[in-house]
Amino acid sequence: MAPELWRGEEPTIETDLYAAAVVLFECLTGTPPYVGGSATLRDQHLSAPLPGPELIEEIAPLVRFGMAKSPRQRYLRAWDFAESVEAAGMTVGGAEWERRGRRRLATAVAAVLGPLPGNEMNDSPRGLIGRSRFRRRVRS
């Protein structure tokens, strides 16, 4: 939760942008920026140093900006945050960063949802959702 929510304030677009920066951090590191029980999390979101040293230098500033403790110090619009993520992606991963990321994500999802090994004829929902949905279709 954004610091302002812990303080009992009403959510705003800046609150959502805080959450988006937290999700970005977690996607890149595999862990949430702060951990602990409710009281610990509240204290960390309200006053702990902003995360970022564990991130690459192109990404760290936009996560810290998105997770600023004061809503007035964050991105003003979702579009601004999205543009920052796009620019960082281009800098770090090149022009094809987004396409490669989608391909890796689809491969990971297919591996999780695919048929169980040795049970390709599985009629369970897991088997029905399998890898065939992610095969590249040949266009004529």
pLDDT mean over 109-124 = 63
pLDDT band at 134 (very low <50, low <70, confident <90, very high): very low
Using one digit for the tens of pLDDT, what is the confidence trace for 64-93? 999 999 999 999 899 999 889 888 888 877
pLDDT band at 102 (very low <50, low <70, confident <90, very high): confident
Residue 102, SS3 per DSSP: helix
CA distance 35 to 83: 29
What are the contacts of 53-56 at 24+ separation with CB within 8 A? 54/29, 55/25, 55/28, 55/29, 56/92
Q: Which one has a higher pLDDT value, 9 or 94?
A: 9
pLDDT band at 129 (very low <50, low <70, confident <90, very high): very low
Using one digit for the tens of pLDDT, what is the confidence trace for 4-46? 999 999 999 999 999 999 998 998 888 999 999 999 999 999 9
Domains of the chain: 3-94 (1.10.510.10), 99-134 (no CATH)
CA distance 85 to 88: 5
Q: Mean pLDDT in the chain?
A: 81
